[in-house]
Amino acid sequence: MRAAPALRELCHELSQPLMAARGSLELALHLRDDDPARPGFFDDALAALERMADLTRAIRDAVEAQTAQLAAAPPPARRRAARPSPRPLAPQPHSARRNPRAS
């Protein structure tokens, strides 16, 4: 199944910017307010979140394009189901046959 590796890669691509943003924000929380490195961590987090926004837009655009392509495609031809052939009747024993004169 090819979908599973693609979904795994998609999850990886989506989780990377989230983890980067989280790490930058956690580091910034541990620095003093006047630490000159602190604004850089916020910039890193913002850049990671912008990357995440870009990825989600790209996914949305791809899904919309695929949906439009599927909607424009003619429906697949339906094949008629083959009818089962009638089964031949099993021969009935002589005693089970009706006698038309007996009625």
pLDDT tens digits, 44-99: 999 999 999 999 999 999 889 988 888 888 887 777 777 777 776 766 666 655 66
Radius of gyration of the chain (CA): 34
Question: d(Cα 67, Cα 100) in Å, to the nearest integer?
Answer: 67
CA angle 86, 89, 95 (to 5 degrees): 165
Please indicate, yes or no, if residue 81 is contained in any of the structural domains. no
Please indicate, yes or no, if residue 101 is contained in any of the structural domains. no
Neighbours of 23 (CB within 10 A): 14
pLDDT over 90 at 20, yes or no: yes
pLDDT over 60 at 102, yes or no: no
Please indicate, yes or no, if residue 33 is contained in any of the structural domains. yes
- Count of structural domains, the chain: 1
Q: Give 102 or 2, the one with higher predicted confidence.
A: 2
pLDDT of residue 97: 57
Q: Looking at residue 50, which CATH number applies to its domain?
A: 1.10.287
CA angle 7, 8, 11 (to 5 degrees): 85
Q: Are 22 and 49 in contact (CB under 8 A)?
A: no
